[in-house]
Amino acid sequence: MIANVLVNIGKRSRTVIGAALLGCCLVTPRSAVAADCPNPNALGTSRTLVVDPQEHPRIGTMQYRETLPLADHEVVLTFDDGPLPKYSNQVLAILASQCVKATFFTIGSQANANPEGVRKLIAAGHTVGTHSQHHPLNMDRMPLERARQEIDDGIVSTLAALNGDRSKLAPFFRIPGLMRAEIVENYLASQGIQTWSADFPADDWRHISSQRVYELAIQRIEAKRKGILLLHDIQPRTVAALPRILATLKERGYRIVHVVPATADRPATPTEPQQWYLHPPSETVAITLWPSIPNFVFTETRTLPAPVLAEMDWRDADLLDHAQRTRLPALRPTVWPQPRLAQLAAAPTLAQPGADVFRIPEALSLTLLAARSLRSQRIAQPAPGAAALRSQALSARQAKPPRQAAHQTPAAAHGKRRPLPLHAAEAPEAASAPVRVANVKKRTPRAVASANAKRVAD
Ligand SMILES: [Zn+2]
């Protein structure tokens, strides 16, 4: 299996180290990276994060619990759906001008059409993962065999563009349209491929302006303060928005992190489990102070005999009589000590609770009284006109000649309409049905379209 080969990424390396060590080693000094960049004012790539897909198979808080172990104000840039030379080349140029490294999720058919585009991504030092062969938007409903075909073909096509050099392709996969399905994720995980969702999109696949793409990207990054940004290198609006996004990130003190997969000679960056959560619970949250549930180890797994009825602790005389009448075998001594009835009777009683335990606070008492009063009013006063309408409907139904009521209309016979009951007493709820129908407002198609338009998010 092709995917299997991809995941030959060496040993797992879960190393637990102290916070001081993390602080000194996780963040590469920016000045050292910036020294390699011809643009002294560039945003730059602050550090490289090495991840092991087998340890963290699903990332991105838009859909999963875990995301990349980023520090505050760290952002990972990702671009989907390429390569498409017209726009992908411009994205590459913008990233190069800022000395920024990103992750690209290529589509197999695009790689077949533009193999040179895939090679350019690698030559520029970016990470390349895959995004299926044909970008189907129904992977959540697709049979596993078809999903596997899409995933594997996408890898084959992208690898072909890289002349089969597997070391250049990362075992990273993003499901098209983020239409996740557990069977797809499980398959990817079984192949050692990491499923990438994202932490914030910029909606650049929608028909919105580049200004809006810029605003959404910055707003959403600022809301979470760190994470994976989802963009598309095949959209002109993304090309137009990208320079401003990068400039604003630099201005506001954000840093770009480049992500690469672990390999045999490149171990994963040491991390603590809580770093893989966007907002790990802090020590001020009570649950973190609770002792964790112990793991019980059973020294013996002997199966206990199934209980028989005679060993039950009957306390009900009737049940016991019944059991005796059904000629159960004689009572056998039980394995467990049984309490005597006398002991139960002598058990200490609990203290009587004080009356103030049941006292209802004054404010709540008023609310309850008001609610009760309102309910009584509703019961006492039925809706005006309802009784009259109900009686009209009843008399109209009773006035129908028996022949009409006894035979169904052709529509009712075909299940399109329920036949009316002969008498209201046969179906009491039917008497009020005309009242309910009369109250339903029928929406015109224009009103429905208008209501739907209002619901659509930007
Ligand atoms: Zn896509």
| 410-435 pLDDT per residue, tens | 333 343 444 433 343 333 343 333 43
Q: Is the pLDDT of residue 259 over 90?
A: yes
Q: How far is the CA of 124 from the centre of ligand 1 (A)?
A: 22
Token pair, residue 385, equals 């006109």
DSSP per-residue codes, 358-384: GPPPHHHHHHHHHHHHHHHHHHHSPPT
Q: How far is the CA of 320 from the centre of ligand 1 (A)?
A: 70
DSSP state of 399: T
Q: How far is the CA of 135 from the centre of ligand 1 (A)?
A: 6
Q: How far is the CA of 394 from the centre of ligand 1 (A)?
A: 60
Half-sphere exposure of 20 (CA within 13 A, CB side): 0
Strand-pairing partners, residue 49, are: 259
| pLDDT recorded at residue 91 | 98
Q: Is residue 357 part of a domain?
A: no
Q: How far is the CA of 277 from the centre of ligand 1 (A)?
A: 25
| pLDDT recorded at residue 391 | 53
Distance (Å) of CA 5 to CA 13, 152, 166, 193, 360: 19, 12, 8, 10, 68
| pLDDT recorded at residue 109 | 98
Q: What is the CATH number of the domain that holds 214?
A: 3.20.20.370
Q: How far is the CA of 136 from the centre of ligand 1 (A)?
A: 9
Which comes out higher in pLDDT, residue 454 or 377?
A: 377
End-to-end CA distance of the chain, in Å? 41
Q: Is residue 169 part of a domain?
A: yes
Q: How far is the CA of 33 from the centre of ligand 1 (A)?
A: 31
Q: Is residue 354 part of a domain?
A: no
Token pair, residue 433, equals 């049905």
Q: How far is the CA of 329 from the centre of ligand 1 (A)?
A: 71
Q: Is residue 287 part of a domain?
A: no
Burial 382-408 (b: 16+ CB within 10 A, else e): eeeeeeeebeebbeebeeeeeeeeeee
Q: How far is the CA of 43 from the centre of ligand 1 (A)?
A: 26
Q: How far is the CA of 45 from the centre of ligand 1 (A)?
A: 25
Distance (Å) of CA 151 to CA 103, 114, 132, 352, 356: 18, 19, 5, 68, 66
Digit-coded pLDDT (tens) for 278-314:
877 665 666 556 666 666 666 666 677 776 666 565 5
Range of the domain at 228: 2-275
258, 74 contact by CB (below 8 A): no
Interatomic CA distance for residues 68 and 313, integer angstroms: 57
Q: How far is the CA of 200 from the centre of ligand 1 (A)?
A: 14
Using pLDDT thresholds of 50, 70 and 90, give the confidence band for residue 359: confident
Using pLDDT thresholds of 50, 70 and 90, give the confidence band for residue 404: very low
| pLDDT recorded at residue 357 | 74
What total number of domains does the chain contain?
A: 1
139, 151 contact by CB (below 8 A): no
Q: How far is the CA of 131 from the centre of ligand 1 (A)?
A: 7
Q: Is residue 255 part of a domain?
A: yes
Distance (Å) of CA 279 to CA 32, 65, 246: 29, 10, 24
Q: How far is the CA of 411 from the centre of ligand 1 (A)?
A: 48
